[in-house]
Structure 1
Amino acid sequence: MGDISFRSTVHAERLRFTQEPRTAVRFPGTGKRESASHSDRTHLPDPVGAGQEYEDVTVAYRLATGLARES
Structure 2
Amino acid sequence: MTRPDRPESPDIEITASAGARELRFEERPDVTVERTARPTGESASGSNRTNLPDEVTTHVTYQDIHIDFRVAARAVHPEDALPSGRHGRR
Shorter-normalised TM range: 0.7 to 0.9
Higher share in helix:
2
Structure 1 residue 17 corresponds to structure 2 residue 15: no
- Structure (1 or 2) with the greater strand fraction: 1
Structure 2 segments unaligned to the other structure (5+ residues) = 1-8, 82-90
Whichever of the two has the greater Rg, that structure is 2
Q: What's the CA shift for 1:50?
A: 1.6
Unmatched segments (≥5 aa) in structure 1: none
Q: TM-score, normalised by structure 2?
A: 0.66
Match of 1:32 among 12, 35, 40: 40
Q: TM-score, normalised by structure 1?
A: 0.81
Q: Aligned partners of 2:51, 2:37: CA distance in 1, in Å?
A: 36
Q: Please, which moves more after superposition, 4-13 or 30-39?
A: 30-39
Measure, in 2, the Cα distance between the counterparts of 1:28 and 1:35.
6
Aligned to 2:72: 64
Q: What percent identity do the matched residue pairs reach?
A: 32
User: Which one of 40, 46, 57 corresponds to residue 49 of structure 1?
Assistant: 57
Contact preservation (8 Å) 2:15, 2:71: yes
> How many Å separate the matches in 1 of 2:37 and 2:44?
17
Cα deviation digits, residues 36-61 of structure 1 (max 9, x gap): 11100000011011221100000011
Q: CA RMSD in A?
A: 2.0
